């Protein structure tokens, strides 16, 4: 059974999420503090997706996210954010989250986001050539790795999917909607800004100078493309 960690200090909310995750066929692992969440992940290395609330009694969800990402690039991470706290969404994504869900949320919405992350974790390289090469970059679709000048770049599942899309379409301008549909799925109902924040995060990892990108360049008023 696929495992999902739910980190939420409010018992009523956590219980509500757990019940619905189990109804959807997931094995829900509970945590009420950041420290408990990190311990649960150590105890259950096969957890595929973590749902992290931001406001916690011992540390904030961003710190938990950073701690998880320092040791695990493969796990999917969803942040629970408040509707009025726009910066929480951006901060969560920049600290390594793959997605966010705004409170209050429906069980169907949360389950759909988890399903989408698990699909990416399962891999999407079947039927493709094993290697993609563009300039100094080599992407191994079987091992799901990216190297730049023979140096491995650690990517999250979402970041890997974005770079794969660009490398398979060199020189082609891709709209934000194109990226959102391909990477997050056609049924994703989130905001386009999630694409921009992930591009910003990717540039920090892959560009020689993130302020002067030459690999993922901006097509003003439209989206992005791979190369100038």
Cis peptide before 212 (omega within 30 of 0): no
Contact of 17 with 6, CB cutoff 8 Å = yes
Contact of 49 with 1, CB cutoff 8 Å = no
In whole angstroms, what is the distance from residue 14 CA to residue 10 CA?
A: 6
In whole angstroms, what is the distance from residue 198 CA to residue 202 CA?
A: 6
**Tokens at 149, concatenated:** 């000048």
**Tokens at 104, concatenated:** 């209050």
In whole angstroms, what is the distance from residue 169 CA to residue 162 CA?
A: 11
In whole angstroms, what is the distance from residue 199 CA to residue 3 CA?
A: 28
pLDDT at residue 128 in the model: 45
- How crowded is residue 144: how many other Cβ atoms within 10 Å of its Cβ? 19
pLDDT in tens, the chain (228 residues): 789 999 999 999 999 999 999 988 999 999 999 999 999 999 999 999 999 999 899 999 999 999 999 988 889 999 998 766 778 888 888 888 999 898 888 888 899 889 888 877 665 444 445 788 888 999 988 778 899 998 999 998 899 999 999 998 988 999 999 999 989 888 787 788 899 999 999 999 999 999 999 999 999 989 999 986
Q: How far is CA 205 from CA 41, 133, 154, 180, 200, in A?
A: 25, 17, 8, 20, 9
Reduced to 3 states (helix: H, G, I; strand: E, B; else coil), residue 16 is helix
**Tokens at 227, concatenated:** 């190369």
In whole angstroms, what is the distance from residue 228 CA to residue 217 CA?
A: 6
């Amino acid at each position: 059974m696929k495992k999902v960690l739910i980190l939420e200090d409010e018992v009523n909310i956590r219980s509500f999420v757990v019940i619905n995750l189990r109804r959807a066929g997931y094995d829900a692992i509970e945590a009420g503090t950041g420290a408990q969440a990190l311990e649960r992940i150590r105890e259950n290395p096969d957890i595929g997706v973590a749902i992290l609330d931001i406001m916690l009694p011992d540390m904030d969800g961003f710190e938990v996210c950073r701690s998880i990402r320092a040791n695990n690039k493969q796990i999917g991470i969803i942040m629970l954010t408040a509707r009025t706290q726009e910066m929480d969404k951006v901060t969560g994504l920049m600290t390594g989250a793959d997605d966010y869900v705004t409170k209050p949320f429906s069980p169907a919405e949360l389950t759909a986001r988890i399903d989408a992350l698990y699909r990416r974790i399962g891999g999407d390289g079947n039927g493709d050539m094993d290697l993609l090469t563009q300039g100094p970059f080599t992407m191994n679709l079987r091992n799901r790795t990216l190297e730049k000048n023979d140096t491995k770049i650690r990517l999250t599942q979402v970041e890997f999917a974005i770079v794969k899309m660009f490398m398979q379409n060199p020189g082609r301008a891709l709209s934000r909607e194109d990226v959102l549909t391909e990477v997050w799925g056609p049924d994703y109902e989130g905001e386009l800004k999630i694409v921009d924040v992930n591009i910003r995060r990717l540039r920090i990892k892959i560009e020689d100078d993130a302020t002067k990108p030459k690999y993922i360049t901006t097509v003003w008023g439209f989206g992005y493309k791979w190369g100038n």
